[in-house]
Amino acid sequence: MTLVSARELMRSAASAGTGIGAFNVIHLETAEALVSASERANLPVILQISQNCADYHGGLEPIGWATLAIARRAKTPVAVHLDHAERPELVDEAIELGFGSVMFDGGRLDYEQNVDTTADVAARARAAGVYIEAELGEVGGKDGAHAPGVRTDPDEARAFVEATGVDSLAVAVGSSHAMLDRSASLDIDLIGRLKSALRGIGRSGGDIPLVLHGSSGVADDVIVQAVRAGMTKINVSTHLNGYFTRAIREALAADENLVDSRKYLKPAREAVAEEAARMLRLFALESA
């Protein structure tokens, strides 16, 4: 196995009624940890690079090339995905670099602007054979769509997909980015209604898979309910970042003379690999 497109991973998971983990790359160590997790669980994984991550590294190319190289050496199917790109030119760059899937995030735009811009970006992705995800409902973490009662409307979701031609859709159903506890309450009934609304309207007549952003704040049993109700792609970042950071703190606290960064990054990488492997099995309903 090796680098694959998110398209085939999403189709396979959606067809099986299971979920697939999409985990954010922060730096080289997390990319290595996530591939290790995939190999331990013997399950596919999607490695995501966000716009914020690209900006942190001074551009998409350095971290993008490194992540693609790690994915190509994997023993399991691994896809590389651009996450939360609010700049259309970043989507174009990801396509040029060889990413198999991209997400254009127009969630902060008003509905008509979101439709127009997303449709334009989606057309370029389709022309390049690249899978494209979009967002409706602003799955953020600073109020917005996550103020009480704000959710993605199923009828609007269907109209949005039909107008833009995207392949998958991130929806607001109660999760929120950057949560440090796992207390988010998801609207499971709404997930089912969104799944039904997006049935059979894909470009080849298939269903449009749903994407859950902000899954770090959602408890295991609730994620399982969400997958069974129709969620396919489960995005996680903050939760795994916590494992990485805690392992570093423990290593440094145990040896105040430790200066070789490899000696504290290695246990951090291991901690992420173990937890990510567990989550991949959970999302695939193997340990539910």
Catalytic residues: 83
- The reply to whether 167 sits in an annotated binding site is no
Name the nearest CA neighbour of 273 among 20, 31, 4, 1: 31
How far the first Cα of the chain sits from its last, in Å, is: 26
Strand 210-212 relative to strand 20-24: parallel, antiparallel, unpaired? Answer: unpaired
Q: Is 246 helix (H, G, I), strand (E, B) or coil?
A: helix
Helix H segments across the chain? 6-16, 28-41, 51-56, 60-72, 88-97, 111-127, 154-164, 188-197, 220-229, 238-254, 261-283
* Most distant CA pair in the chain, distance: 61
Name the nearest CA neighbour of 261 among 29, 24, 25, 64: 29
Residue entry with tokens 């989606």: 122
Name the nearest CA neighbour of 167 among 4, 1, 9: 9
- The reply to whether 105 sits in an annotated binding site is yes
Using CA atoms, how far apart are residues 108 and 114, in angstroms rounded to an integer?
A: 8
- The reply to whether 162 sits in an annotated binding site is no
Q: Is 48 helix (H, G, I), strand (E, B) or coil?
A: strand
As a residue count, the chain comes to 288
Q: Is 53 helix (H, G, I), strand (E, B) or coil?
A: helix
- The reply to whether 84 sits in an annotated binding site is yes
- The reply to whether 92 sits in an annotated binding site is no
Residue pair 208/167 in contact by the 8 Å Cβ criterion: yes
273: its two tokens: 């690999």
Known binding positions for Zn(2+): 84, 105, 135, 177, 213
